[in-house]
Amino acid sequence: MRMKLFCLGVTGALFIAIGSTSALASGGRGMTWGKMNHGLSPGVDEVGCHAGGVSCNAYVGDTSCMASLPILCIKMDGSPRPSGLWTDFYNGWVGGNIATTQPVPGTWLTSQSAADQLCASYFGAGWQMAQFHHSGGGWAWYAYGNVRNDTRFWVRISDQPANCWNP
């Protein structure tokens, strides 16, 4: 095992990943989402697979893990759905707040735990990497926030090999 030390200069946070060099340089593919809408309800973003004319690949990933993108992070706090916000199975309310990290190489995402630790290092306890299948929906969902709309961001999926940490 080799120790890799990464400094996230913007926040001053320090992230240490312990793993083999091959795990950090997997060269695989990870799934990404984008921002679809903001303000359908005050302070609410819709994020999802199909954003900005680009679609994710929830089955094998859509972006090289060598790319550097922000991680979409979420804090599930049980926030009630805003009145008047229409939801369905494919566009659900997740009951939380979202934010994005600074861009990080997908090769840093060696496990769900490593990704969750990056979110917590940016935003504090209780923040984790957002996922495709939150209890409120899949393919797209709503949460409080105002994340970037100029880039895709890393999102995990629990039942498909579309994460950078998958072989």
pLDDT digits (tens, 9 = 90+) for 92-150: 999 999 999 999 999 999 999 999 999 999 999 999 999 998 877 789 999 999 999 99
Query: Is the pLDDT at 23 greater than 90, yes or no?
Result: no
Q: Which helix (H) or strand (E) holds 33?
A: strand 32-38
What per-residue confidence (pLDDT) applies to 82?
95
Q: What is the pLDDT of residues 59-99, one digit of tens each?
A: 999 999 999 999 999 999 999 999 999 998 888 999 999 99
Neighbours of 1 (CB within 10 A): 7
Q: Which pLDDT band holds residue 22 (cuts at 50, 70, 90)?
A: very low
- Cβ partners under 8 Å of residue 54, min gap 6: 34, 152
Helix (H, G, I), strand (E, B) or coil at 17: strand
Instruction: Name the maximum alpha-carbon separation found in the chain.
Output: 53
Cα separation of 154 and 137, whole Å?
17
Q: What mean pLDDT comes out for the span 2-17?
A: 40
DSSP 8-state secondary structure symbol assigned to residue 59? T
H or E element that contains 116? helix 112-123
pLDDT at residue 39, rounded to an integer: 87
pTM of the entire predicted model: 0.85
Residue 27 pLDDT: 66
